[in-house]
């Protein structure tokens, strides 16, 4: 069991490092790719492929939208395949445990988000040092650490059973999980605050609230808001243009008038 767990962890680690961190496709880490690979390692390729199809249909609809990293379908697929092949149980039993595991793993990974977020300031300082090679090297090393946490959890789950994992999570006081998820939803505000303080302009700052209200009250998606924004921006652009033209023509006239006077005298 332990050596099988090790093998599967290596596959999982490579896959989750490759995608999204190196390829950014969010494709190699989908169940339809991961499950066959897990099957291959555990010696039952066909079961892996078939489970891949089933797992992909389960997880197809469950994913975050908007450029964020999707819920943990990868770990769930690996565990489901491992469970089925290693315990020799039928495919349905393996599939049945996939979804709860996906949720458990996502919440475990969620516990670490504040730590990665607190590194953001360090990255900014590093970026300011103007050493792109160093920046690339250090960020890539940090990427090596990120999937490692899930890999270790995965190892224990496969080697010693999923029940222990569930028991551990259940034994945690509830406020730890709520606190962590509450703080990570508030942490996005830090990024937005930095951005807002960079582009803030008192003259047009009120437009922030226009965008805000369109989402908060009208539930509009970003594309229609962008179109409204573009309409306003174009109107404003041509107004400014008219003012600039007017200013230029006034100064030109003044210069021309001054020339006339000089000629006159």
Partner 1 sequence: MEKRQINKEERKVLNSMFWRSHLVFNTFNMAKMQANGFTCTMAPAIETVYGDDMEGKREAYIRHNNFFNTHAVPFSFIAGLCYAMEREHKENGSIDGQTIESIKAALMGPTAGMFDSLFFNCLRIIAAGIGIGFCSEGNFIGTIIFILIYGATQSIAKYFLTYWGYEFGTAFIDRVFSSGLMEALSKAASVLGLMMVGAMTASMVSVPVTLTLNIGETSLVVNDVIQSIFPGLLGVLLLFLLVKLIKKGMRPTQLVLGILVFGMLGAFVGLF
Q: Which member of 6, 96, 152, 204 binds partner 1 (CB under 8 A)?
A: 204
Question: Does 42 interact with partner 1 (rule: CB under 8 A)?
Answer: no
Q: Report whether 211 contacts 222 (CB < 8 A).
A: no
Choose the binding region for partner 1 from 7-15, 98-106, 162-170, 240-248 (rule: CB under 8 A): 240-248
Q: Which member of 63, 249, 251, 253 binds partner 1 (CB under 8 A)?
A: 63
Q: What is the DSSP string of 5-21?
A: HHHHHHHHHHHHIIIII
Q: Taking the complex as a whole, how short is the minimal distance between the CB of residue 152 and partner 1, in angstroms?
A: 19
Question: Does 163 interact with partner 1 (rule: CB under 8 A)?
Answer: no
Question: Does 107 interact with partner 1 (rule: CB under 8 A)?
Answer: no
Question: Does 198 interact with partner 1 (rule: CB under 8 A)?
Answer: yes
Question: Does 65 interact with partner 1 (rule: CB under 8 A)?
Answer: yes
Question: Does 181 interact with partner 1 (rule: CB under 8 A)?
Answer: yes
Question: Does 234 interact with partner 1 (rule: CB under 8 A)?
Answer: yes
Question: Does 182 interact with partner 1 (rule: CB under 8 A)?
Answer: yes
Instruction: For residue 190, say if its preceding peptide bond is cis, omega within 30 degrees of 0.
Output: no
Question: Does 252 interact with partner 1 (rule: CB under 8 A)?
Answer: no
Distance CA 11, CA 50 (A): 18
**235-255 as b/e, with b when 16 or more CB fall inside 10 Å?**
eeeeeeeeeeeeeeeeeeeee
**132-143 as b/e, with b when 16 or more CB fall inside 10 Å?**
eeeeeeeeeeee
Choose the binding region for partner 1 from 76-84, 93-101, 235-243, 255-263 (rule: CB under 8 A): 235-243
Instruction: Please name the residues in contact with 21: beta carbons below 8 A apart, sequence gap of 6 or more.
Output: 143, 146, 147
């Amino acid at each position: 069991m332990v050596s099988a767990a090790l093998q599967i962890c290596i596959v999982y680690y490579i896959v989750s490092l490759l995608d999204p961190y190196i390829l950014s496709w969010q494709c190699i880490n989908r169940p339809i790719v991961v499950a066959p690979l897990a099957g291959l390692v555990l010696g039952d390729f066909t079961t892996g492929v078939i489970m891949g199809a089933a797992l992909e249909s389960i997880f197809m609809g469950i994913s975050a939208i908007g450029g964020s990293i999707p819920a943990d379908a990868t770990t769930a697929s690996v565990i489901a395949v491992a469970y089925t092949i290693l315990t020799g149980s039928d495919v349905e039993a393996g599939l049945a445990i996939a979804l709860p595991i996906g949720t458990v793993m996502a919440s475990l990974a969620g516990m670490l988000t504040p730590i990665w977020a607190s590194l953001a300031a360090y990255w900014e300082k590093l970026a300011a040092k103007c050493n792109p090679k160093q920046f690339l090297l250090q960020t890539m090393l940090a990427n090596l650490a990120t999937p490692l946490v899930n890999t270790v959890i995965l190892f224990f789950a496969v080697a010693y059973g999923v029940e222990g994992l569930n028991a551990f999570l259940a034994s945690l006081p509830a406020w730890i999980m709520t606190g962590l998820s509450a703080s990570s939803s508030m942490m996005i505000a830090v990024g937005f605050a930095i951005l807002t303080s960079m582009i803030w302009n008192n003259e047009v700052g009120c437009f922030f609230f226009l965008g805000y209200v369109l989402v908060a009250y009208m539930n509009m998606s970003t594309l229609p808001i962008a179109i409204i924004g573009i309409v306003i921006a174009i109107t404003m652009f041509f107004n400014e243009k008219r003012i600039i033209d007017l200013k230029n023509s006034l100064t030109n006239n003044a210069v021309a008038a001054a020339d006339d006077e000089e000629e006159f005298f």
